[in-house]
Structure formats: structure tokens, C-alpha cells
Amino acid sequence: MVIVSPIDYRYGRKEVKEIFSEEGRLKYLLKVESEISRTEAKLGLIPKSAAEIISEKAKTEYVKLDRVKEIESEISHDIMAVVKELSNISGDAGKYVHLGATSNDINDTATALQIKDFLAFFEEDFLKLEKTLYLLAKTHKDTPMIGRTHGQHALPITFGLKVSVFLSEIMRHHERLVEAKKRILVGKFMGAVGTGAALGKKTLEVQENLMQSLGLGIEEGPTQIVNRDRYVEYVSIIAGIATSLEKFATEIRNLQRPEIDEVQEPFDEEKQVGSSTMAQKMNPIISENVCSLARIIRGFLTPMHESAILWHERDLTNSASERFIIPYVSILIDDIMLKTNYVFSNLKVNKDRMLRNLMMNDLIMGEAYIMFLVSKGYSRQDAHEIVRKSSMEARKNKTRLIDEVRKVTNLNVPEANPLDYIGNSIEIVDKILEIYESHSNKYHSN
């Protein structure tokens, strides 16, 4: 077998990839077929003995992947290949396999089960990253550093404030995902065009019992498929999470630049190689990898939206793309979430360099000087212009801003200390930490 995709040999963890593997997919398809037979037997539609046989045989130890693929190569239909093989090995009971179902009753319900099992892993990822950011923000809530806008020095903040903003953002994503589960984790059993005609009035009862036994919601307005706005929402939420993770990783990359040197992602100084020729380098490769894979995830947004636009009650234009989209975005978001947690869990914070960068010059205290001048009777606009012009003179003359302001105003302007100008940074951090504690209790209890 020739392996082409890096996702097979480079990215993603084994447990998650198994959910979306060929063998894993077959297990979920068989689980749905098995549960259909059990439900139909429970409602008196097929013999209980037949359901027992079908359920026993609906396992990959009996329905072999290679045999299913062999049948598919002959008949050109993947679900029917599963149905035929399960029917063959179930003997006389095989005549009841797939009764009243259409292919996407099996396909879409299996996809919901895959996403459901994946989310059990992914929600643990959230809890880990949230705790890591919480501890980092708590540790550094009063660690002063320079805030930057447009890549330029702006006003003092604390590193804890920066991290708590990340924490707040990732908690919102967590809430979005949990809240959306009721719309995403749904299946169907309503046949070819969504009317459930095959089993008549019994279809609704079968569907309700089937989805209840599988722990899924019901597509209340089916066509032949579960409506794809549900998958669009899932992929959109994942893409939003990826965007935030790239934002966090980009900040680490920027703050690790030697001219800034305020943080450093983990680097194995004993063995890790930074460059094949520049042996001295310590590159932020994990954060760069997060950024790179986040872009791949977002790249699936357009094909997922386009896959929701189908002819009439359905066509097949969504099928091929979804075989990529759902597994890839799930595997990769889990991968970069774990990597982001690793970076922040082992982040080196250079407090001394943060302080040195903060105290580089007093230009960052321009706002404080504006407020002082206003307190002495200047209009806000006049004070702004005085400080603006004084800052230009300070840069040109390599002098201090305060001295230039004093010169223009003839006032004994008190010197502002950046360490005393972090505003409400600590209070904001404390509030976000408090929100986290409530959030953590809620989701850990779930």
C-alpha cells in the first residue's frame, strides 16, 4: 500500500485517527446496521433471533474490510458492499439486514457517531489547555511587559493579561462547541427521500428508538441525508478554534524573536537541531507547525459550504469532499490543540527581558502626560498635540519625552512610572480566572 497523505504518517494521534480510519469507519457503519436490527426486532418488525445473529456478525472480525472493498470494486457502491457482506455471513437472518434503510441512514448516522466519539477526546483537550492558560495567567498576572499595537510599543500591560485574553477566547470556543452538539450529533432513519415510506408509520418509531439507543439526536427535517448545515456549523467551529490557536502561536513566535526575547517555546537543548547549517538556531517550530496546520483546517471551510448545496433531495457531489473534510479537520484540530497546550505548559517566560523592553524609554507614557496636562486645564486635544510634537522632538534629539513636555509647558510634570501604569490589568485577569473556575467546575462535572 502506498501512503501519500502526511496525516497518515506525520500528524495526529493514533486514538483519534483510529476513529476516522477505514477500519474505524467500517466499525461505525456496522454498529448502525446492528442497532437497526435490534430496534426493528424490539418493535416486532423482524424476528429477535435474526437481530441477534445480525448483531453478532456486525463486527469487523466477521465483516472484513478487504472483502467489503472487493465487493465494492465489483458493484461500485460502498454501503451496499457492507450490506451484502453482512447479509452473506448472517445466513438466513441476512434477509433482514438494512430493512427500510437507505445508504445515508447508515452513512450520516455513522458520521455522527464518529464525531461524538472524537468530541470526547477533543473536550479533554479543551480542559487541559484551559487549565494550562489559567495557571500561566495566574502566575504572571502582575508580570509587567509592554503592550504593542501595529507592532509598535504602546502602553504597559501584564503578561498575565495577555494570557488571560487567550483563556477567555478558548473558553468561548469550548462553550460554542458544547452548545452546538445538539445540532451536530444527529442521525436519521427515514429512507430514500426522507419520508420513511418503506416501513410506513413504524418508521418514526424505529428512528426514535434507534437514535435514543445510539445517543444521538434526530434530523427533524430529513431529505435523503442529514442536512449539511449541521456539518457546516461543525467545520466552522473547528476553523474558528484553529484561527485562535494560530493567533496564540503567532504571538509566541513574535515574542520569541531575538530582538524581543520575552518568551521561548520548549526546545530540547541536549538533542534538538534548529537548522541543518546554522547550528546555533532555536526555531519556534511547534508554534509554526500550529500556524501551518490551522491554515489547512480553514481551507476546508469553502468545500464544506459547497457540499451543502445539493440537487433536490440529494446528489453525490458532497460525498468525496466530506471523506476528506470531516476526518481531516477533526484529526488536525486535535493535533494542534495538543501542541498548543505543550507550548504553553513548557513556555519559558523571560521576565527580566520583559521589564527591560518596558523600561526602554519613556515614550510609552505619552497618555499619562496627556492626562496630567488635562488636569492642569489644557483641553484634551491641545494636550494631545503637545505630547505628539514633544515625542517627535524626543526621538530626533534622543532625549526623554518628559523633558520635552516640561520644556514646552514650563510645568513641573511628574515622571510617570510604567510599572504604575498597568491600569486594571490585575483586576481583569482576576475576573477571567474567576470565570474559568466556574467554567471548569461546569465542564469537569459533565
Strand partners, 144: 158
| Mean pLDDT score across all residues of the chain | 96
**441 confidence band (pLDDT: 50, 70, 90):** confident
**259 confidence band (pLDDT: 50, 70, 90):** very high
Residue 446 has pLDDT above 70, yes or no: no
Share above pLDDT 70 across residues of the chain, in percent, rounded to a whole number? 100
The verdict on whether 150 is a catalytic residue reads yes
* Averaged pLDDT for residues 195-210: 96
- Domain residue extents for the chain: 1-99, 102-269+278-360, 361-420
Given the residues 49, 213, 275, 379, the one annotated as active site = 275
For the purposes of burial, counting CB atoms within 10 Å of the CB of 306, is it exposed (0-12), middle (13-18) or buried (19 or more)?
A: middle
The Cα 1–Cα 6 span in angstroms is: 14
CB distance 169 to 340 below 8 Å:
no
- Cell digits of residue 335: 493535533
For 152-199, what is each residue's pLDDT tens digit? 999 999 999 999 999 999 999 999 999 999 999 999 999 999 999 999
The Cα 137–Cα 426 span in angstroms is: 10
The Cα 338–Cα 126 span in angstroms is: 9
CB-CB neighbours of 259 under 10 Å:
5
pLDDT, position 303: 97
Given the residues 73, 76, 150, 444, the one annotated as active site = 150
Residue 281 has pLDDT above 90, yes or no: no
Strands 186-187 and 217-218 come out as parallel
- Cell digits of residue 316: 453525490
**153 by DSSP, 3-state: which?**
strand
Residue 445 has pLDDT above 90, yes or no: no
pTM of this prediction? 0.95
Residue 304 has pLDDT above 80, yes or no: yes
For 290-302, what is each residue's pLDDT tens digit? 999 999 999 999 9
The Cα 409–Cα 353 span in angstroms is: 34
**104 confidence band (pLDDT: 50, 70, 90):** very high
What DSSP designation does 276 have?
S
Which one is the CATH code of 102-269+278-360: 2.40.420.20, 1.20.200.10, 3.40.50.620, 3.40.50.1470? 1.20.200.10
Q: Which CATH architecture has domain 1-99?
A: Orthogonal Bundle (1.10)
Helix ranges (H only) for 43-102 are 48-57, 65-75, 78-89
pLDDT, position 431: 98
Strand partners, 142: none
Q: Supply the DSSP string of 284-330, one letter for each residue.
A: -HHHHHHHHHHHHHHHTHHHHHHTT--STT--STTHHHHHHHHHHHH
Cβ neighbours of residue 265 closer than 8 Å, sequence gap 6 or more: 252, 256, 284, 286, 287, 343, 346, 347, 348
- Cell digits of residue 54: 445480525
